[in-house]
Amino acid sequence: METVVEARGLTKEFNGFRAVDNISFDILRGEIVGLLGPNGAGKTTTLHMLLGLTTPTAGDIRILGRNLEKDREEILSRVNFSSSYVSLPYSLTVWENLSVFAGLYGVKRPGEKLKGLIKTFEIEDIKDSATRKLSSGQITRVSLAKSLLNDPEVLFLDEPTSSLDPDMADRTRKLLKDIKEKKGLSILYTSHNMKEMEEMCDRIIFLDRGKILAEGRPSEVMREFKGASLEEVFLKIARKEKTCFDGADG
């Protein structure tokens, strides 16, 4: 299988504080990899380094076989990103916002593409509303539509479903899985929804304080940490150090 993302010795220091500490991993074509870990573990920082938004302190990144620093433009036109923390210009309508990004990604026949995505994410009724009037769940859907405009080969998603209702979240997961099956889309995914991670991910990477604590299929990781679910594993890992600390304290 072809490797689409290759991170080697990736490290990010902010004023001497190591947010990401020498991590290495691969993502294969058609693979969904979940990045999980407590708040502040370094998930977002890792995603931002892979997208060229943050420069690593050390380490190498290759995406689609190319060097991120040298071939930024080529790489970025073949990947995409969505985050529940990033918004779209409020004064523009949904249609306007999407068509601007279609232009930025050089989408051929943008009209057709937009119509298709608007239908997929069921945002037909709000396509002419100003983005300011949308609920956060609706903005998330528009943002996801944006992230599929250029038929990306790799998708970076930072807590993409956190503001969707269970029904829409479920359908989004199905849609992403479907694109993965049909087109070999690879996804690097962060989420605090452990059930979602179990269901979606071929592989998970558990980050804690910038380091990889565990890596493997969800079932393998669950076995390794003797948890019945990822949620249990997460709680075990996240609370382990805390319990030690509590013990020492009391």
Ligand X SMILES: Nc1ncnc2c1ncn2[C@@H]1O[C@H](COP(=O)(O)OP(=O)(O)O)[C@@H](O)[C@H]1O
Using CB under 6 A as the criterion, which residues of the chain lie in contact with ligand X when the complex forms? 14, 19, 37, 39-45
41's contact among Mg ion, other proteins, ligand X, none, with CB below 5 to 8 A by partner kind, is ligand X
Looking at the Cβ atoms of 157 and 205, the one nearer to other proteins is: 157
If you write DSSP's letter for every residue of 110-130 in order, what string do you get? HHHHHHHHHHHTT-GGGTTSB
Cβ proximity to other proteins, 84 vs 234, nearer residue: 84
Question: Whole-number minimum distance, CB 209 to other proteins, in Å?
Answer: 17
Length of the chain: 250
How wide is the angle at C-alpha 54 spanned by C-alphas 208 and 90, nearest 5°? Answer: 105
44 contacts Mg ion (rule: CB under 5 A): yes
Shortest distance, CB of residue 44 to ligand X, whole angstroms? 3
Asked if residue 161 binds Mg ion (CB under 5 A), the reply is no
Phi, psi dihedral angles at 166 (to 5 degrees): -55, -40
Which residues here bind other proteins, judged by CB under 8 A?
A: 12, 14, 19, 44-45, 48, 51-55, 72-74, 76-77, 79-81, 83, 85-92, 96, 99-106, 130, 143, 146
234 binds, options Mg ion, ligand X, other proteins, none, Cβ within 5 to 8 A by partner type: none
3-state secondary structure of 192: coil
Q: What are phi and psi of 189, to 5 degrees?
A: -130, 135
d(CA 158, CA 161): 9
Terminus-to-terminus CA distance in the chain, angstroms? 51
Q: Which residues bind Mg ion (CB under 5 A)?
A: 43-44
